[in-house]
A = this chain, B = another copy of it.
Amino acid sequence: MSKIFPIHNSPYNRLQPLPPGGFELRDSFWSPRLDTLRKVTLPTQFTHMEETGRIENFRRASGSSDQPHQGFVFNDSDVYKWLEAASLLSPPRPRGGAGGGVGGVGGDALPNQIETLTHLILSAQQPDGYLNTAFLFDEAPNRWTNIRDKHELYCAGHFIEAVLAAQDDELLAAATRLADLICGTFGDEPGKIASTPGHPEIEIALIKLYRATGDPRYLAQARYFIDARGHGLIGGQAYHQDHVPFRDLDKMAGHAVRALYLNTAAADLYAETGDPTLLETLTRLWERTYQRQVYLTGGLGARHSGESFGEDYELPNATAYSETCAAVAAIFWNWRMLLITADARYADALEMTLYNAALSGISLDGDKYFYTNPLASEGTHRRAHYFNCACCPPNLARLLASLPQYFVTTSENAVWLHLYAAGEFRLPSFHATIATHYPWDGHVRITIDTASQTTLRLRVPGWTLGDARISVNGDPRELHPEPVEGPGYIELTNHWAAGDHIDLNFPMPPRFIASHPAVIENIGRIALARGPLIYCVESNDPHPERLVVDTSAPVQEIPANGLIHLALQAAVTPASGAWANELYRTHPRPEPVEGQTVNAIPYFAWANGAPASMRVWLRTIR
């Protein structure tokens, strides 16, 4: 057992995550993506980190390069996030029987690259524990002088998170030295700097480190940083969530990723302390956000300006910011809310975000990224191989690398299934196999591999709208006798015998969705979804705006390239017709329209082919 990943049961979590390897994905949707992550995404990101000086900055810090520091002051964090992702895929030592890594590719470069980075990072750390390649040499006097803008604590947080994934004793010692330095530097005691970071992240890391080490100073330090916000220590702007104290927030505001990381940290703090004011605040913020500010894809952050949340119902499509990092952060936050409450609404939000706003952030071939994820485009929004500000690519990488953890949790005497994919779980008291073609098909079969007495709690996604069915060994069961642990989970208790099987059926008919009429851009429009997937029309001919969708006509399902397309019926306005050189026409005759079948594709798959116009929200007559 690793000492870095002890089983720490957070006292105020109703659900406990599985230890790594507790669930092994072996499906046709996520597993190939994780294989691509190992074979394409991480290697190409490593190359980009080399080419952009991100790794060279560590060589300089460790004395093996005399290049000047390159790039943004927060570029170290990209290296740490990469290291976290790579470490999750390449655990340093095999763990018995539980299926450590994903894919199991031998001979790849990841272990050596991890080794290289580990060595460089350890060499870059200063004798006092300080670690940041941007504040060395001439810049050393500026250490900790502007933690609002200079991201030192943000980088430190990502270092600590990477360490806890890497499970390396020497790295852990380095992380505790850095954390000890931070604890000794910041606080409201005399001689310390009373401040809080401009970008939350260190709080999440410190609580993780507390869980790994048991050292309560790290928990206390995280609490200090959270409680110090909103008192003007860093300027009092909503951008940094410093406009009001955390517990006084009534809505998400400012920079979306910052706000979501703060909530994630506050949820972690609740899980350890049970401070009810934290959970009240988080619940209030979640409800406001998910009732007024979330895109249908799960994307958050409406505005390019300040990369920020907008007003209630301000959800523009073409100019949606919906940063990939905000989707990742929303998954972090919802996951923690789910662990605290076991409330399926958080699993619904997590699933929606994962399959749509987050997954759209990376190309199908795994080496191109979206920074922002709009819901409408004229084909000009294209993925890039990397960014100067490259927060999103490695953030997606570490999310995907950690994906198995989100499928299953435990609570006292129960096993909870939150997401569905083919795979196996191997818990001390419960071995079972899951077979399903989710998210393309809603049939899920759970086969018991070893006899046991276990209560299963199985999530029924909100999008099933009450149509889910279940049977045990072929016998239909009443679905909602009394959902004990909150709406959305059904409970099955049994003396399971090897070979017993549970069949879940979540019907996935294509469904049309409308938005609240206060979302101005979506008035008179509908979106299309199937199961957890949001669809879009991506086409130059006809342009999606030419369609008036007939929601009363059946929608056909068309398997294509490993996806399921949906064929819609629509009245289509021709692109020009008899207009010739007229730009405006008085007393227009009704446009001749033509009934036509138009294909919609999963939103996550758009912008992978030739540029074309895209719309999630389509015109209709309702």
Assess whether A619 is interfacial by the CB under 8 Å rule: yes
The answer to whether A516 and B576 have CB atoms under 8 Å apart is yes
User: Which candidate, A146-154, A278-286, A578-586, is the interface stretch facing chain B?
Assistant: A578-586
Which single residue of chain B is at the shortest CB-CB distance from A289? B583
Contact partner, A513, options B524, B548, B585, Cβ 8 Å: B585
> Which of A512, A517, A577 has most chain B Cβ within 10 Å?
A517
Residues in chain B near residue A548, CB distance under 8 A: 524
- CB pair B516–A587 under 8 Å, yes or no, is no
- Which residue among A378, A524, A582, A583 has the maximum number of chain B CB atoms within 10 Å of its CB? A583
* Interface status of A526 (Cβ within 8 A of chain B): yes
Nearest to A352 among chain B residues (CB) is B584
Interface: A175 (CB within 8 A)? no
Complex alpha-carbon distance, A575 and B514, angstroms: 14
Cβ of A140 under 8 Å from chain B:
no
Stretch from A263-271, A290-298, A355-363 contacting the other chain: A290-298
A449 within 8 A of B: no
Interface residues of A (CB under 8 A from B): 287, 290-292, 294, 296, 378, 463, 465, 511-521, 523-524, 526-527, 529, 543, 545-546, 548, 573-577, 579, 581-588, 590-591, 613, 619, 621-622
A465 & B586 in contact (Cβ 8 Å cutoff): yes
A selection of 28 A-B contacts at a CB cut-off of 8 Å is: A291-B581, A291-B582, A294-B583, A296-B584, A378-B520, A463-B586, A512-B587, A513-B586, A514-B584, A515-B584, A515-B585, A516-B579, A516-B583, A516-B584, A517-B546, A517-B575, A517-B576, A517-B577, A517-B579, A517-B591, A518-B575, A518-B579, A519-B583, A524-B548, A524-B573, A524-B619, A526-B588, A588-B622
Contact of A583 among B463, B515, B579, B581 (CB under 8 A): B515
- Closest CB of chain B to A220's CB: distance in Å? 37
* Chain B positions within 8 Å of A587 at CB level: 465, 511-512
Contact present for A582 and B516 (CB under 8 Å)? yes
Check if B574 sits within 8 Å of A517, measured CB to CB: yes
Q: What B residues does A573 contact at CB under 8 A?
A: 517, 523-524
Q: A290 contacts which chain B residues (CB < 8 A)?
A: 583
Q: How far is the CB of A148 from chain B (nearest CB, A)?
A: 28
A621 interface neighbour in B291, B463, B621, Cβ under 8 Å: B621
Provide the bound-state CA to CA distance between A604 and B511, in Å.
44
Residue of B nearest to A313 (CB): B583
A514: shortest Cβ distance to chain B, in Å? 3
Cross-interface CB contact of A514 among B514, B529, B546, B585, cutoff 8 Å: B585
**A524 CB contacts on chain B under 8 angstroms:** 548, 573, 619
Q: Which residues on B sit within 8 Å (CB–CB) of A545?
A: 520-521, 523
Contacts of A584 in B (CB 8 A): 296, 513-516, 527
B-side contacts of A575, CB under 8 Å: 517-518
| CB-based nearest B residue for A292 | B583
Complex contacts, A296 vs chain B, CB 8 Å: 584
> Which residue of B is nearest A573, CB measured?
B517
A429 to B269, CA, bound (A): 92
Output the least CB separation between A390 and chain B (Å): 24
Q: How far is the CA of A514 from the CA of B525 in the complex (A)?
A: 20
> With the chains together, A512 CA to B585 CA distance in Å?
8
Q: In whole angstroms, what is the CA distance A520 to B542 when docked?
A: 11
Complex Cα–Cα for A520 and B521 (A): 14
Q: Cα distance A296–B586 when bound, in Å?
A: 11
Of B287, B513, B543, B581, the contact of A588 (CB 8 Å cutoff):
B513
Is the Cβ of B517 less than 8 Å from the Cβ of A588?
Answer: no
Question: Which B residues are in CB contact (< 8 Å) with A520?
Answer: 378, 543, 545, 613
* CB-CB nearest in chain B for A312: B583
Contact B591 A622 (CB under 8 A): yes
A576 to B292, CA, bound (A): 12
